[in-house]
C-alpha cells in the first residue's frame, strides 16, 4: 500500500476543524492539520507493513520444542468504529518446533496489526495466525488486555473497563494443560 497523501489529509483536517466550529487560522491550530496528518500516517503505518517484513528473516533453528512466552508487550491501536485509541498489553506464547523467532519480532508483529484501524478481537486473531505461520509452531496463545477510549471518553463512559481477548491455536486450543501453563505464566507478577 502506498504512503498516505499527508497534504490531502491536512486539507481534510482543516475542513473538519471548520465543520466543528473552529478557526483553523487561529494561533493554536495553524499547524494542527499538518501535525494530525503526520500523526495519522504514523499511527496507521501497519497498512504498509507485513509480518514477513517485520520479521526480516529473524527465524532461527533452535532445536527446541518447549513453550516460549513474551508478555507485557505494550500495544497502541485505534478503534475502527470511532477512530479513538485503545491501549494495553499483549502476551504471546508458542511451542516451537525447532524454529524460534527473534524475541523483538514478536513485538513487531503486534505493531504490524495494531498500527491499523482495528477491533481488538481481530487484532488478537491476526497476531496469533502470524506467529503460527512464521515458525510453524505446534501451538500459539495470544492474550490482549486493553482499555478503549471509545468506552471511556464517550458513549457509556466506563473509566475502569478493560477488554480481554484471547486466541488459542493448535496445542494451546486442544490441550487444556498447555493452555493452563500459558495462562499461569502470563499472570505471574
Q: What is the DSSP string of 103-141?
A: HHHHHHHHHHHHSSEE-HHHHHHHHHHHHHHHHT-SEEE
**pLDDT (0 to 100) of residue 161:** 93
Q: CB neighbours of 19 closer than 8 A, spacing ≥ 6? A: none
User: Which range has the worst mean pLDDT, 66-70, 137-141, 154-158?
Assistant: 154-158
Considering only CA atoms, which of 139, 125, 145 is closest in space to residue 179? 139
pLDDT tops 80 at residue 59: yes
The model's pTM is 0.94
Q: CB neighbours of 65 closer than 8 A, spacing ≥ 6? A: 95, 96, 97, 98, 138
Q: What is the DSSP string of 18-83?
A: HHTT--TTSGGGTTHHHHHHHHHHHHTGGGG--HHHHHTT-EEE----SEEEEEEEEEEEEETTT-
pLDDT tops 80 at residue 72: yes
Q: Burial of 73 by CB count in 10 Å (0-12 exposed, 13-18 middle, 19+ buried)?
A: buried
Domains and CATH numbers, the chain: 6-43 (no CATH), 57-186 (3.30.1130.10)
How far apart (Å, rounded) are the C-alpha atoms in residues 21 and 13?
Answer: 13
Q: Burial of 65 by CB count in 10 Å (0-12 exposed, 13-18 middle, 19+ buried)?
A: exposed
pLDDT tops 90 at residue 84: yes
Amino acid at each position: 500500500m502506498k504512503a498516505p497523501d499527508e497534504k490531502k489529509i491536512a486539507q481534510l483536517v482543516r475542513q473538519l476543524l471548520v465543520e466543528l466550529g473552529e478557526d483553523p487560522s487561529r494561533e493554536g491550530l495553524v499547524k494542527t492539520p499538518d501535525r494530525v496528518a503526520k500523526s495519522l500516517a504514523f499511527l496507521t503505518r501497519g497498512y504498509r507493513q507485513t509480518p514477513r517484513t517485520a520479521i526480516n528473516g529473524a527465524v532461527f533453528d533452535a532445536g527446541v520444542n518447549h513453550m516460549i512466552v513474551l508478555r507485557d508487550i505494550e500495544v497502541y491501536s485505534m478503534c475502527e468504529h470511532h477512530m479513538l485509541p485503545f491501549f494495553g498489553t499483549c502476551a504471546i506464547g508458542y511451542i516451537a518446533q525447532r524454529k524460534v523467532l527473534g524475541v523483538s519480532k514478536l513485538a513487531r508483529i503486534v505493531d504490524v496489526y495494531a498500527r491499523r484501524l482495528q477491533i481488538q478481537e481481530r487484532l488478537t486473531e491476526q497476531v496469533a495466525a502470524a506467529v503460527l505461520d512464521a515458525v510453524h509452531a505446534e501451538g500459539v496463545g495470544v492474550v490482549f488486555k486493553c482499555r478503549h477510549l471509545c468506552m471511556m471518553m464517550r458513549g457509556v463512559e466506563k473509566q475502569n473497563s478493560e477488554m480481554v481477548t484471547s486466541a488459542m491455536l493448535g496445542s494451546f486450543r486442544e490441550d487444556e494443560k498447555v493452555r493452563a501453563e500459558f495462562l499461569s505464566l502470563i499472570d505471574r507478577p
